[in-house]
Every structure is written in C-alpha cells, then in structure tokens.
Amino acid sequence: MMDLNEGLRLIYQQLAGWSKAGIIYLPRIGLALVVFLVFSFIARYFRRLVVRGFDRFSDNMSLINLTGTVSQTLVTAVGLFFALGILGLDKTVASLLAGAGVIALAIGFAFQDLTANFISGTIIALQRPIQVGDLVETNGFVGQVLTVKLRSIVLDNFAGQTIEIPSKDVFQKPIINYSRTGLRRIELNCGVSYIDDLGKAQKTAVGAVRALPFIRKDKPVEMHYKGFTLDMIQFLVWFWIDPAKTDSARALSEAVKAVKTAFDQNDLLMMFPPHTFDLKKRKEQELKVDSPE
C-alpha cells in the first residue's frame, strides 16, 4: 500500500512537470494572447467600417447592427483559431469547427421559421421593396409601414392598431406599394338612368371630380360606361391623387358627394333598385296629402 510520502512525491513530480511545461509554453501563451488581442482590436475597427458602409445605402438599424456584430464575431473567431494554432492545439481547432457545424445544423433545424424570417428580413432590407412611411398592401392587410425589422414588418392599419407580419410572409407573397410612384388611381363605381343624356352625365361627373382640391391636375379625370343592368347604365370614374396629401377613403368619399351633388343640380338621376322604397320621399308625399289647402 502506497504511503503518504510516496503520494506526495508523485504529486510533486506531476506539479513540477506541469511547471516546466508551462515555462516552456509561456512564450507561446504570450504570443497567442497578443495575437488574440490584436485580432479583437481589428474586429472592433472592422465592425465600425462595416456599420459605416451599410449606413450609406440602408436605414435599417437592425440590419446594420447585425451585420456589424457578425463581422466582428467572424474576425474574433479567426483570431481565436490562430491563437490556438500557435499553442499547438490544432486538434482543438478542428474539434471546435466540427462542433460549430453540428450546433449550427441543429439550430437551423430547430429554428427554421426564425432563420427564414431573418434571411427574408435581410433581403427586404437590402432590396428595399418597401420603406418606412410607405402605404402598402400585403398578406390581406393595408397600412403604413412603421418599422422594417429583420424578423417582421410593422404596419399601421389606420384603425388604431398595429399589424406585425413575419418577414418571410412579406418576402414570399405579393406586395402592393401605393407610395412607390407617389400616385394612386381611385375608381368610383356609379350608374345613371336610361332616360338621361349620357354625354351630359359624363361631362357633369368629370367636372365635379376635377374640381376637388386634392385631384392631381397633371393626370386626367376619366369616365367610362361599362355596361347595362335592369335599371341603370353603369359607369366608372377614374381619378388620381397624391397619397401623401390625402388617403384613398377620404378621396373616394368626397368624389361620391361631389358627383351626387352635381347630378342633383343638373337633373340627372342616379338609379337604385326598383323595389327600394324612398321613405323620405314617401313621408313628404304623406305630409302634402295631410296638409290643409
């Protein structure tokens, strides 16, 4: 059985061996530390350069910061691998690379949707099909873009709520951008009776809409008849607005009021289904009958 002195002697020999090895490796450790610190300094400087470069063509701070962080991490990782190589830990470097690959694969499978959203958000930020302030329609929602993040796009739906749509859905589905050209055409559907002069109706409707203050003067106001129904002749009025000055709902509402007023003033009849009762008109007739002569 090993006595206490023999055990202490073996421990001393082991510690002495480690001390000698440490002294031998001390220059390598110092050089490796210097290399790592130099690469860390270069990584921070490289991050600033990347951030400044991306800031020139993108206003998406999430993308800019992410790109800067990734670039700094990559440079720092290169410095770490060089430091480990100086220490003679080549197998450790190979193991780290293999482990990083396995971890990246596992994370990719576990967070497929999150990864897809980040990649889609990055492409959207680079291609810029939409920007903050644009009026867009996508995935069945209409609203003004509040924020373009890497994971999602945030819209204001003009009804007091915000809508956050995953970047993957925005990237993969059609986007209608009403602000890209700075113009938007509004379509007004209406109808006139068969007994009215169609030329007069067309002139009246176009004049009423053209007089509205928010109408683009460099674009024509058009009216086109599109077909016959049982009780009216249908027509369309097309006019252009600037979305930055007025919204489409207000523009359409004002156009409806203007056309209705103009038709009333020019004795043009807007038809409605024959089985619909005009209660206001009927009440006026009843009052005339009941009033004394």
Q: What is the pLDDT of residue 131?
A: 84
| 209 or 291, higher pLDDT | 209
Q: Which of 120, 150, 177 is the C-terminal boundary of a domain?
A: 177
Q: What is the pLDDT of residue 129?
A: 86
Structure token digits, residue 26: 């001390």
> Residue 137 corresponds to which amino acid?
E
Residues forming a β-bridge with 224: 236
What phi and psi values does residue 47 have, to the nearest 5 degrees?
-60, -45
- Same structural domain, 194 and 151: no
Largest interatomic CA distance in the chain: 137
Whether residue 187 contacts residue 238, with contact meaning beta carbons closer than 8 Å, is answered with yes
Count of C-beta atoms within a 10 Å radius of residue 290: 7
Residue 276 pLDDT level (bands cut at 50, 70, 90): very low
Q: What is the pLDDT of residue 178?
A: 83
CATH number at residue 166: 2.30.30.60
Q: What is the pLDDT of residue 43?
A: 87
- Same structural domain, 241 and 194: yes
CATH number at residue 38: 1.10.287
Residue 275 pLDDT level (bands cut at 50, 70, 90): very low
User: Could you list the residue range(s) of the whole structural domain that residue 254 is in?
Assistant: 184-265
**Average pLDDT of the chain to the nearest whole number:** 80
Residue 272 pLDDT level (bands cut at 50, 70, 90): low
What phi and psi values does residue 128 have, to the nearest 5 degrees?
55, 55
**Does some domain include residue 46?**
yes
The count of structural domains within the chain is: 3
**Does some domain include residue 288?**
no
**Does some domain include residue 191?**
yes
Q: What is the pLDDT of residue 151?
A: 84
**Does some domain include residue 287?**
no
pLDDT tens for 25-63 read 667 777 888 888 888 899 888 888 888 877 776 666 666
What phi and psi values does residue 230 have, to the nearest 5 degrees?
-70, -25
Report the C-alpha gap between 190 and 232 in whole angstroms: 9
- Same structural domain, 207 and 225: yes
Report the C-alpha gap between 171 and 151 in whole angstroms: 11
**Does some domain include residue 291?**
no
**Does some domain include residue 276?**
no
Angle formed by the axes of helices 4-55 and 61-86, nearest 10°: 140
**Does some domain include residue 158?**
yes
- Same structural domain, 215 and 139: no
Report the C-alpha gap between 111 and 169 in whole angstroms: 16
- Same structural domain, 142 and 214: no
DSSP the chain: ---HHHHHHHHHHHHHHHHHHHHHHHHHHHHHHHHHHHHHHHHHHHHHHHHHHHHTT---HHHHHHHHHHHHHHHHHHHHHHHHHHTT-HHHHHHHHHHHHHHHHHHHHHTHHHHHHHHHHHHHHHH-SS-TT-EEEETTEEEEEEEE-SSEEEEE-SSS-EEEEEHHHHHHS-EEESSSSS-EEEEEEEEE-TTS-HHHHHHHHHHHHHTSTTB-TTS--EEEEEEE-SS-EEEEEEEEE-TTTS-HHHHHHHHHHHHHHHHHHTT-PPP--TT---HHHHHHHHHHHHS--
Count of C-beta atoms within a 10 Å radius of residue 53: 13
Please calculate the CA angle 277-280-282 and round it to the nearest 5 degrees. 65
**Does some domain include residue 117?**
no
- Same structural domain, 189 and 172: no
For the sheet with 184-192, list strands across it: 184-192, 233-241, 222-228
